[in-house]
Each structure stands twice: as structure tokens, then as C-alpha cells.
Structure 1
Amino acid sequence: MAKSRKGGGRRPRRRYKRGSGSPGKILALSLVLIAAVAFGLYALYVSNDKPAGHAPGTAQTEPVKKSQSKTPVKEARKKPAEEAPKPPKKPEEKPAAVKAEAAKPTPEPGGEKKAESKDKKAVRDGGIKPRVAIIVDDIGQHKEPIDKLLALEGPLTFAILPNLPYSTYAAEKAHAKGWDVILHLPMEPMESSGYTGQDAGEDALLVGQTKEAIIAQLDNNLAAFPYVEGVNNHMGSKFMENDELMELVLERINSKGLYFVDSLTTAKSVGYKKASSLGMRTVKRDVFLDLSSKGPGYVKSQLDKLVKISEKNGHAVGICHPYNATIEALAEYMPVLESEVEMSNASDVVSRRKEVSER
């Protein structure tokens, strides 16, 4: 029997140093660590793989169809969503003011371009719009046309016959509106014109009268109604050609501080020339705007002529009568005139004519 070691008993078991683990434990810990890392990576992958806009644990209400194109987010932002087709625009309803404007008479072809050029170019006498005066002859016999004329914007110049039923009425109403009032002085016409001295009326100046009688009749006519600022001739184709008698009459008119408008009822009239030589404020008629047998269309065409003359000279004077067709044309066309020229009293045109002639 073998001898036992000193102290007897079993051989002591070999011990590992403290702190060192067995190989089995190390392997187990490694596996646990690898599993934890793998689980973490898996969880991260799953969270990133979920559809955007859905919180964890919430179900997506509608699955994305496979047929949908997978457009990158950045590219999708660049492409705006298609707009729904817009309904056709309804025509804009014009305001009442525009409708009223559209109701104005349309100028003749080429009139629009002409109006634009008028607004752009400067009139040669001062760089402003030309002045146009419209004188209405034969005022005083009837009230209705007077009232219709007074309803227009104007200004108009009333050439009033003396001693008629509504001579004073017309003078007072026109003056109240700031319109010129002038004496429409009856004068003897040529018999060849189809008229006689009697046709001119009992207040007419006649070639056969004495100078004293002519002056007396002139003074009576000037005193027939108030607010007289000037004079133009009624008929007078015979009287207006008489140089001596016209000088007599014009000197009397000038002494009262009045201006004179030569209606040019005859091509041989000496009125304008004589008045100019006397240093008077004077002007002559450029266009007769109407005829008793013509309608509104004729008046409008004559007004166009008047505008063209005013553009050339810086001023123009038209003469018309209180016919229904004339009043109708003026009511429609005067707003158009206002956009092209400066509508004025005859006295203003007389002043403009003097300014231009002195340049």
C-alpha cells in the first residue's frame, strides 16, 4: 500500500487564480453580448423600415399600392401637385360709370388714333389744348330750345335777338351759368340771298338809314336785354359789305368795351378786317355747324372740321342754331369735344386769337 503524503488525505485540487473565469463562462457572456447587439441592430432596422408619418405601434390605415411609383422625397417636393382645372372666367360686369361711358357715340374710323395724337402733341400757341367756342344764333323766340341748350355742359355762347319773348330770360339764364351773352345784331341782307330787310326784322340796321338812325337803333338793341359782352351779325350780307357803315357801327361797339364776331354771312364782309384795324377784340366764324334741312350726323361732321381748324390755329369758332337736330348732336358729341379741345366762351377765343396774333 502506497504511503500517503505527509498529513495524509486527498491531493489538494488545483485552483485558478482569482479573477480569471472559466472558458465556458466567457463563451456564454460573448454569446449574450452578440445577441444583444444583434437585437439592437434589428430593432433599429425595423424602426427605420416603418412608413414615414406613422408613430411606432400605430397601424397604417391604407397600404401603399405596389403600382405607385417610388419617387424620392426630394424629387417629389420639386414637382407641384397638379392643379384642378379652373372654371372659365365669367365676363366682368362693367361698373355703371363705365357703361355710361360706353354709351357715348363712337368716333368715326380713325377717330381713336386721332384723339391719342391730340392728347400727346402740343398746340403751337402755348402747348395747351386749342380753344373752341360754339355760338348759338337766333336765341329768344322759344323757351323750349333755350332750356334744352342750358341743360348741356357747355359752355355755349348765346347770340340773342333783341326784343323777342324770351330774350331776357335767355340772357339771365346763360349769364347765371357763366356763359357769354352777345347781341345777335339784325342787319340788312342781300336781296339775291333770298331775304329782304323786312326778313331781318324791325330792329335791323339798314343801308338806307341815316347814321344817326343806325346808331340809335344799335343802342336800342344793345339795351334790349342784360349782360351783353359782345356782338355778332344776324344776316347782314348787304350791310357787312359797306365799309363806311361798318366802321360807324364797330366804333360804337368798341366804345362800349364789347368784342365783335364776324359771322361771315358774305365772303366780301369787311367786319373782321375793319374791327382788327380799329384794334378791337375780334374773331371770325370758322364753320357753320348746321342747316335746317340736315340731321345730327351732319352737325357731327362739321364739329370734326371745327376741331381740325382749332388744332391748326389754336382756336376756332363754330356757329349753329337752336334746331332739334343740332341740340341732339351737341348733347351726344360735346363730351367727345371736351376730351380733344378746351370748350370756351367766345370771349376766351377772342383772347386766345389776340395772344396768337401777337406772337
Structure 2
Amino acid sequence: MLPLMLRSAAVLLSLLLVPTVLAQPRIAIVIDDLGHHVDHHAFTQLQLPVTLAIMPFTMQAEALAAAAADHAHEVVIHMPMQREQHDVQEQGVLDRFDSKAQFIATLAAAFSRLPNAQGLNNHQGSQMTAAAEQMNWLMAELQQRGLYFLDSRTTAATVAEQTAQQWSIPTNRRHVFLDNEPTLEAIEAQWQRAVLIAQNQGYAIVIGHPYEVTLEFLQQLQAASVQAVELVYLSALVSVNSSPAPSASTE
């Protein structure tokens, strides 16, 4: 009996001595506003998991989506939406002047331009993402197509993420804008902020823009071989029951 007890104790001790392996914090990098310029193709060539948010009605939209697929990058529709204090109706923009039929037709046109997109996030939209009725229209269409939603959080009044959750759509929110101040020093500071958020809550979602300095920073990040966090595509960080954290709002 004693040898068996000793062996059991030894096994238990060995299990206690095995170090706990903690999940590495994860960050998803989203590049917004893509599609206007040929130069934006440089972002498709990054050897980092960057999620490319392409504006559907731009000259380069389809070519960029094809290039993204060639490099195995994830694409989302960067959908133009009405911003605060902007009451001019524009073609290709979801706004409060649209009937439900017009709203859905604009979305359908966007889906047809980028059929391989896995999700959608808002471009501007501080007025539209605060409109409960229209956000319900949007989420019904996303649910039908099996797409996820990222709330870019251009206003603290947004109901978009909450509405997506009500429709059981995989969703999350932006935590950090990477390059509101487009300098390497400022971008580095924002990146460190994102890393801290990821370390505290397990993940962070950052949004950048197709600036030359942002591309330069990401190329440096690529060359440095990031170790503090794991870089992932946005689809890895959306869930039906996301637990959002507070973040600042910037149009």
C-alpha cells in the first residue's frame, strides 16, 4: 500500500510542478479606408495577419480584394455611413434619408462588389450607428449572409455592437485608433497602448489607415517578429457574446 501511495504522491507533485501555460494576448490589426489608390496594394503584401477594410464603391475595391485573397488576408466591407452633422444624402452611403428598400439595396451593391468579405465595419457613421432602426436593418442583412460586424466606435452613442449582439451576430469593437496622429512616435505609443489592453483583457482590436507612415510601422513590426502578443485576423476576435471594454470615440 505504501509504495502505491508514494507513487500517487509523486505523480501529484509532478503535476503541481508543471508551469501553467497562459494564453498569449492577441491583437487584430484592421486597415480602414482602402480602395481609393493603387498604392493601397502595398498593404496586401504585408506578411502579417492584417484585416483589410475595403470601401466597396472605390476604383480599386475589387482588385484589392483579389490581391488580399492572393496573400491570404482577410477582407471586410468598410461601409460608408452617415456622420454627425452631415445631412446631405450621398449615393453609396447608408443614411437616415434612406427607405428600408434603399438601405438594403445599397448594402446589396456593396456585397456584390466584395463577395468574399467575411465581415463589415462602419466608415464614419457617428449618426447612423446611433440609429436603432437602421442598425436592426443592417444586422438582419449580415445575419442572412453569415457575416460578422466590427463597431469602429466613431461615437459613444453607438448602438451597433449592442444590436449585433441582439441578433446573435459575431461582433466586437475597436479599442485603439493606431494613427490619428500619423507619426512613427505617436503610432508606437498607440501600439504600446494596444499591447497593454491586450495584456489586461486578453485581446485588443486596433484600426489604422493607409498612410505611408502606418505602412512603415507595420513593416518594422513585421521585421521585428512580434513576441509580446499574437497577431491574428479580426475573425478570431469576434464572438456572439463579446465583452466590450470602454474606449475613446473619434470620427
Do these two structures clear the TM 0.5 threshold for a shared fold by scoring above it?
A: yes
2:17 aligned with 1:143, yes or no?
A: no
Q: Work out the CA distance in 1 between the residues paired with 2:221 and 2:170.
A: 29
| Structure with more strand by fraction | 2
Query: Residue in 1 aligned with 2:65?
Result: 171
Q: Which amino acid aligns with 1:137?
A: D
Structure 1 residues 177, 132: closer, same or farther in 2, change over 3 A? same
Task: Tell me by how many angstroms 1:354 deviates.
Answer: 5.0
Aligned pairs, number: 226
2:170 aligned with 1:281, yes or no?
A: yes
> Structure 1 regions of 5+ residues with no counterpart?
1-119
2:132 aligned with 1:243, yes or no?
A: yes
Q: Work out the CA distance in 2 between the residues paired with 1:172 and 1:225.
A: 9
Which portions of structure 1, spanning 4 or more consecutive aligned residues, are displaced by more than 6 angstroms?
none
Task: Tell me by how many angstroms 1:315 deviates.
Answer: 1.3
Query: Residue in 2 aligned with 1:318?
Result: 206
Structure 1 residues 143, 121: closer, same or farther in 2, change over 3 A? farther
Contact 2:76–2:117 (CA<8 Å) still a contact in 1? yes
Task: Quote the sequence identity (%).
Answer: 31
Contact 2:95–2:128 (CA<8 Å) still a contact in 1? yes
Under a length normalisation based on structure 2, what TM-score does the superposition of the two structures give?
A: 0.84
Q: Work out the CA distance in 2 between the residues paired with 1:334 and 1:221.
A: 31
> Structure 2 regions of 5+ residues with no counterpart?
1-18, 245-251
Q: Which amino acid aligns with 1:185?
A: M
Q: Work out the CA distance in 1 between the residues paired with 2:225 and 2:99.
A: 45
Q: Work out the CA distance in 2 between the residues paired with 1:153 and 1:129.
A: 20
Larger of the two Rg values belongs to structure: 1
Structure 1 residues 169, 269: closer, same or farther in 2, change over 3 A? same
Query: Residue in 1 aligned with 2:111?
Result: 222
Q: Work out the CA distance in 2 between the residues paired with 1:316 and 1:323.
A: 21
Under a length normalisation based on structure 1, what TM-score does the superposition of the two structures give?
A: 0.59
Task: Tell me by how many angstroms 1:333 deviates.
Answer: 2.5
Contact 1:337–1:343 (CA<8 Å) still a contact in 2? no
Structure 1 residues 251, 315: closer, same or farther in 2, change over 3 A? same
SS in 1 for 2:214: helix
Q: Work out the CA distance in 2 between the residues paired with 1:253 and 1:203.
A: 17
Q: CA RMSD in A?
A: 2.1
Q: Work out the CA distance in 2 between the residues paired with 1:313 and 1:287.
A: 14
Query: Residue in 1 aligned with 2:50?
Result: 156
Q: Work out the CA distance in 2 between the residues paired with 1:339 and 1:180.
A: 22
2:196 aligned with 1:308, yes or no?
A: yes
